[in-house]
Amino acid sequence: MEKREELYRGKAKTVYLTDDSEKLILEFRNDTSAFDGEKIEQLDRKGEVNNKFNHFIMTKLEEAGISTQVEALLSDTDSLVKKLDMIPVECVVRNVAAGSLVRRLGVEEGLMLNDKPIFEFFLKNDALHDPMVNDYHITAFGWATEAQIAEMKRLTFAVNDVLKALFDEGGMILVDYKLEFGLDADGNIILGDEFSPDGCRLWDKETRKKMDKDRFRQGLGSVVETYIEVAERLGLTL
């Protein structure tokens, strides 16, 4: 499978067409950004680490019966993925109060929500700073149907069940995360984009050490080194 022309260039990944109209190549770059692209740096090996981490996580989810976009690992930085018609909303689950939830509601960071995790939708739009939306917005503007919304919620909580247990075994708390979904050629809802420490919050269970992109956002340092530690705790050697 060969790369053809560039289809889309995001903040940290580039999507390429291939000689198969139903397949794309997802390239993970070393670019690291925060605050809607206001802070950008190049971090050595970050693209490789996130590519392999994403493949590992998506494989675990596939084994649990959750369909994902990922087809194969092609190289250190490239993955072969199914072509999806992406739904322009992010599905966020919060198991612990952190980030924007704390800022918006004034609740204490670290408040455990595991008995009843919080689900939120956000419109994927950097120019608007990814505003929060609800089911009514999504159906009113035609971004997804009620049935598709229900399926995205179901799958997001199914992912939560799998990954909370996985990270717990590695001595970590899955604080929150975002997922993106798309439609395949048959109209099925499929998990797309990526799952890596860039798109979730992870804390050490004992020390509450931050092990995700908050290390970059907050200038804590050792970003890629910590991502590698997360992978190794899960049994992935990088």
Q: What is the pLDDT of residue 114?
A: 72
Spatial separation of the C-alpha atoms in residues 145 and 188, rounded to whole Å:
12
Both 172 and 217 in a single domain? yes
Q: Residue 67: what residue type?
A: S
Distances (CA, A) of 174 to 102, 159, 169, 197, 199: 16, 11, 11, 10, 11
Is position 1 within any domain?
no
- Asked if 218 and 212 touch (Cβ cutoff 8 Å), the reply is no
Q: Residue 65: what residue type?
A: G
Q: What is the pLDDT of residue 195?
A: 98
Is position 113 within any domain?
yes
Spatial separation of the C-alpha atoms in residues 34 and 228, rounded to whole Å:
20
DSSP 142-182: TSS-HHHHHHHHHHHHHHHHHHHHHHHHTTEEEEEEEEEEE
Is position 230 within any domain?
no
Q: What is the pLDDT of residue 115?
A: 80
Both 72 and 89 in a single domain? no
Q: What is the pLDDT of residue 37?
A: 67
Distances (CA, A) of 77 to 72, 105, 160: 12, 38, 26
Is position 76 within any domain?
yes
Q: Give long-range contacts, CB 8 A cutoff, 24+ apart: 226-232.
A: 226/197, 227/46, 227/49, 227/50, 227/53, 227/196, 227/197, 228/49, 230/53, 230/170, 230/172, 230/197, 230/202, 231/49, 231/52, 231/53, 231/56
Both 91 and 170 in a single domain? yes
Q: What is the pLDDT of residue 2?
A: 85
| pTM for this prediction | 0.95
Both 74 and 92 in a single domain? no
Domain count for the chain, please give it.
2
Identify the CATH number of the domain in which residue 25 sits: 3.30.200.20
Give pLDDT tens digits along the chain (238 positions): 789 999 999 999 999 999 999 999 999 999 998 876 678 899 999 999 999 999 999 999 999 999 999 999 999 999 999 999 999 999 999 999 999 999 999 999 999 997 889 999 999 998 999 999 999 999 999 999 999 999 999 999 999 999 999 999 999 999 999 999 999 999 999 999 999 999 999 999 999 999 999 999 999 999 999 999 999 999 999 8
Both 111 and 209 in a single domain? yes
Domain with 49 in it: 6-82
Both 25 and 115 in a single domain? no
Q: What is the pLDDT of residue 216?
A: 95
Both 199 and 113 in a single domain? yes
Residue where a domain terminates, one of 20, 54, 82: 82
pLDDT tens digits for range 83-97: 999 999 999 999 999
Cα 116 to the center of its chain, rounded Å: 21
Both 77 and 107 in a single domain? no
Spatial separation of the C-alpha atoms in residues 229 and 226, rounded to whole Å:
5
Q: What is the pLDDT of residue 196?
A: 97
Residue where a domain terminates, one of 82, 99, 134: 82
Both 154 and 132 in a single domain? yes
Identify the CATH number of the domain in which residue 104 sits: 3.30.470.20
pLDDT tens digits for range 95-130: 999 999 999 999 999 999 978 899 999 999 989 999
Residue where a domain terminates, one of 32, 60, 82: 82
